[in-house]
Amino acid sequence: MKILVTGATGYIGKRLIPLLLNEGNSVVCAVRDKNRAPIGFKNDKNVSFAEVDFLKPNTLINIPENIDVVYYLIHSMSNSSSEFHILEQQCALNFKTYIENTSAKQVIYLSGITNDTKLSKHLLSRKNVETTLISEKYALTTFKAGVIVGSGSSSFEIIRDLVEKLPIMATPKWLNTKTQPIAIRDVLSFLEKAKGNENLYNKSFDIFGPEILTYKQMLLEFAQIRGLKRRIITLPIMTPKLSSYWLYFVTSTSYKLAASLVNSMGIEIIGKKSNINTLLNIKPISYKNAVKNAFVKIEQNSIVSSWKDSFISSALKSDLHKHINVPTYGCFTDKKQRKLNDVNTSLDKIWSIGGENGWYYGTFLWKLRGYIDKFFGGTGLRRGRTHPTQLNNGDSLDFWRVIYANKEAKKLLLYAEMKLPGEAWLEFKIENNTLHQTATFRPQGVAGRFYWYAVTPFHWFVFNGMISKLV
C-alpha cells in the first residue's frame, strides 16, 4: 500500500511512519522543508519525500498521484494569526482539491473532540476542517482525540513541569474542567489500524481513554506516580490572559501555545461512545499507565518525537533552508579556533551541547540570558533538547534551532530563537584537526548595534571558555 503522510515531521507523524513501514507499506512524507526530513527515514528505500506547502497550491504537484491512503495531520495550534482558522480552511481545501484527482481511496484525519456546545476557536476550526475534507471522490475517516498523553507531547510536558517544579500550586479554575485523556500508543493504534478499513469509510469517531478526569486530578495522579506530594488551590480570579502567562513562565511552553491551550482547557473534552474499540480491537489504557509508559521512554532516551521540535515552539517564520547560508554583509562576528587533541571526543561534546549538559562554560550567564529571554516573551532555556547526544535538522536546542547537523561533515549550525534586535547564528565546524567556532549577529537598526556592543565583553568570556572546554 502506498501511503501519504502530511505533517510528517510533527509529533504524531514521526511516530506513525515507522508503524506503517513495519507492515511493508511505502510512505510518501509531505514536508514543507526537506531539510527537516527525519534522518532515520532518508536512507529507507520505502520512504520518499514531497516538498509541499498546502497554502501554495502549485507545490502540491510534488505529491504523486498513485497513492492509496492519506493521513491528514495538519493543524496550527500555536498560530498567532487572528485568522489562523482561515489558513486552516485554505490548507484543507487545497489538499482536498488535489487529492480528489489522485487514486486515493481514503483520507484519515486526526482532529479533537468537539462535543461541547461552546468550542474554542481552535476546536471549532478543526471541526470546520472536517467538514471541508468531506468528498465524493474519496472516503473520509475522522478520529477525534482527547488530551494526548505520551513522552514529548505538549500536554505531558506541561503537566510534568507543573508537578515537578511546584510543591504548591495556585491555579486557574479551568483545572476543574473534565477531560478524557488518551495514551499516544492508543492514538497511533487507531490511526494505523484504520487504513483501508471499509467499515470506517465516511465515518467519524471519538477516541479517548477509559477515565473521565479533571486537569487537577491529572496533576495529582501524575504527582502520585512520581512519588511527590503536591497541593493544588484553584483561584476563580485568574483570567485567561493571566492563566496563559502562568503556564508560560512556569512551563517550557511558548506563550502562543499556552494561550491556545488555556482557551481550549475551559471546554469539556468528553467523547461520545461508539463501537470503534470493538471494530479495531483496541482497549485504551488508563491515564496512569500512559504516564508510566512515557517515563519508560524518557529513561531509555528513546523519545521518538517532541512538541518542542515542531514549529509549535519555534520563532522561525520561514523554512530552515532560508537560514542555512550565514550572512556576512553588515554582520558582527566572534570567531574562535583551537587545535584539537581528539576530534571524536570534541565532536561528541558538540553534539551533546545544551539541555541538561549545559553550554560547558559560564553556566550562570547562559541561565541569566534564558531568564531575560523568557521575561521578554522568548523561548528561554526550558525547551532543553529531546535526546542527550543526537541532533537532527529542525530540532530545538534550548533557545536555538538546529539548522544543519551533519556529524560526518563535522558541522553544526544553530539559529537563535531568543528575543533579539536582529538575527544570530552559532556555528561549530572541524577542519584540519581544528575547531572553528563562529557566532554571527546581523543587527536590526541602532538597537541591534547597541545590543552587540553591550554584550561583547560577555561573549568574549563565554565563547572563549566554551571552545576551550570543547577541545
CA 14 to chain centre: 10
CA–CA separation, 268 and 113 (whole Å)? 9
125: how many CB neighbours lie within 10 A of its CB? 24
451-462 pLDDT tens trace: 999 999 998 889
Overall average pLDDT of the 235-251 stretch: 75
Query: Which CATH code, of 3.50.50.60, 3.40.50.300, 3.30.530.20, 1.10.3720.10, is assigned to 314-470?
Result: 3.30.530.20
Cα(50)–Cα(64) distance, integer angstroms: 8
Neighbours of 91 (CB within 10 A): 20
Q: Are 48 and 29 in contact (CB under 8 A)?
A: yes
Residue 434, pLDDT above cutoff 90: yes
Task: Please report the pLDDT score of residue 310 as a whole number.
Answer: 60
pLDDT in tens, 31-78: 887 776 666 677 788 999 998 988 899 999 999 999 999 999 987 654
Q: Chain-centre distance of CA 361, in angstroms?
A: 28
Q: Which of 162-171, 185-194, 200-209, 304-313 has the lowest mean pLDDT?
A: 304-313
**More confident: 280 or 381:** 280
Q: 192-201, 212-221, 381-390: which has the minimum mean pLDDT?
A: 381-390
Q: What is the pLDDT of residue 320?
A: 56
Average pLDDT score over residue span 344-349: 94
Q: Which residue has the higher pLDDT, 86 or 6?
A: 6
Three-class SS state of 335:
strand
Is residue 174 scored above 60 in pLDDT?
yes
Round to whole Å and give the CA distance between 164 and 223.
Answer: 8
Question: pTM, whole model, 2 decimals?
Answer: 0.78
Overall average pLDDT of the 392-403 stretch: 87
CATH topology of domain 2-307: Rossmann fold (3.40.50)
- Range in 20-34, 298-312, 427-441 the model is least confident about: 298-312
Query: What mean pLDDT, rounded, does the chain reach?
Result: 86
pLDDT, tens digit (0-9, with 9 covering 90-100), for 133-160: 999 999 999 999 988 998 878 788 888 8
Instruction: Please state, for a pLDDT cut of 90, what percent of the chain lies above it.
Output: 46
Amino acid 328: pLDDT: 85
Find the mean pLDDT for residues 271-295.
93
- pLDDT of 86-129, one tens digit each? 888 889 999 999 999 999 999 999 998 887 767 777 778 888 88
Q: Three-state DSSP class for 257?
A: helix
Q: What is the DSSP letter of 63?
A: S
Give the separation between CA 317 and CA 327, rounded to whole angstroms.
17
To the nearest whole percent, how much of the chain has pLDDT over 70? 90
pLDDT for position 125: 80
Among 66-80, 278-292, 389-403, name the one with the lowest average pLDDT. 66-80
Whether residue 110 contacts residue 73, with contact meaning beta carbons closer than 8 Å, is answered with: yes
Please give the pLDDT value at position 311: 55
**Closest listed residue to residue 308, CA positions, set 437, 139, 161:** 161
Within 10 A of 298 (CB to CB), how many other CB atoms are there? Answer: 14
Where do the domains of the chain lie?
Answer: 2-307, 314-470
SS3 284: coil
Work out the pLDDT band at 303, boundaries 50, 70, 90.
low
The pLDDT of 303-317, averaged and rounded, is: 57
| Predicted pLDDT at 99 | 94
pLDDT reading at 316 higher than 80: no
Cα distance between residue 205 and residue 200, in whole Å: 9
pLDDT band at 188 (very low <50, low <70, confident <90, very high): very high
Instruction: Say which DSSP state 341 is in.
Output: S
